């Protein structure tokens, strides 16, 4: 079994979608290990998104991510990292498949950032790193 770090981003919390996103995670059979609503600091986001530092969308991404509370979640289950990324769908909600969180619920706003509702760790190494950042006591 493995664990992953999931974030419901500020657009998801603001639009009232935290509950249905958690429901989809549970419906797929994963266990919620930790769930916490919090407004992240720019410092925490800089750690979380360190691989994107220097990219053209980096500043607007961090600005968006600190604009309101996010729901930070640790979920556990067999191949949950891959399974949640599949559930989330493609990065761009416009092309994310129907049936996925981003495909069903995401919007492509005319902003510099893709407001795509959720984040999920993309590998076991990222999951361990990100869980350490968001939930150091786990």
Which residues are documented as binding site? 9, 57, 85, 91, 102, 116
Instruction: Point out the catalytic residue in the list 3, 24, 48, 119.
Output: 119
Provide the annotated binding site for ATP: 9, 57, 85, 91, 102, 116
Residue (of 45, 51, 55) closest to 7 by Cα position = 45
Q: What is the rounded CA–CA span in Å between residue 15 and residue 10?
A: 8
Tell the smallest beta-carbon distance from residue 112 to ligand ATP (Å): 6
Q: How far is CA 115 from CA 30, 32, 69, 88, in A?
A: 24, 24, 14, 13
Of residues 125 and 137, the one with the C-beta less far from ligand ATP? 125
Residue 4 interacting with ligand ATP (CB under 6 A) = no
What backbone torsions phi and psi does residue 35 show, to the nearest 5 degrees? -140, 120
Of residues 57 and 94, the one with the C-beta less far from ligand ATP? 57
Stretch that binds ligand ATP, among 21-29, 36-44, 73-81, 117-125 (CB under 6 A): 117-125
Tell the smallest beta-carbon distance from residue 119 to ligand ATP (Å): 3
Q: Please give the span between the terminal C-alpha atoms of the chain, in angstroms, as a whole number.
A: 16
Strand-pairing partners, residue 31, are: 76
- Told to judge if 48 belongs to the known catalytic residues of this protein, a careful annotator would answer no
C-alpha 122, offset from chain centre: 10
> What residue ranges bind ligand ATP (CB under 6 A)?
57, 61, 91, 113-114, 116, 119-120, 122
């Amino acid at each position: 079994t493995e664990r992953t770090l999931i974030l419901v981003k500020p657009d998801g919390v603001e639009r009232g979608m935290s509950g249905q996103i958690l429901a989809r995670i549970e419906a797929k059979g994963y266990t919620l290990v930790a769930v916490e609503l919090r407004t992240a600091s720019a410092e925490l986001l800089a750690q979380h998104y360190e691989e994107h530092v220097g990219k053209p969308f980096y500043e607007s991404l961090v600005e968006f991510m600190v604009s309101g509370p996010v729901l930070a979640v640790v979920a556990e289950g067999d191949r949950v990292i891959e399974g949640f990324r599949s559930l989330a769908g493609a990065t761009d909600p416009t092309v994310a498949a129907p049936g996925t969180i981003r495909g069903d619920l995401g919007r492509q706003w005319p902003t510099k950032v893709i407001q795509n509702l959720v984040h999920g760790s993309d590998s076991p190494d990222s999951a361990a790193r990100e869980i350490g950042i968001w939930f150091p006591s786990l």
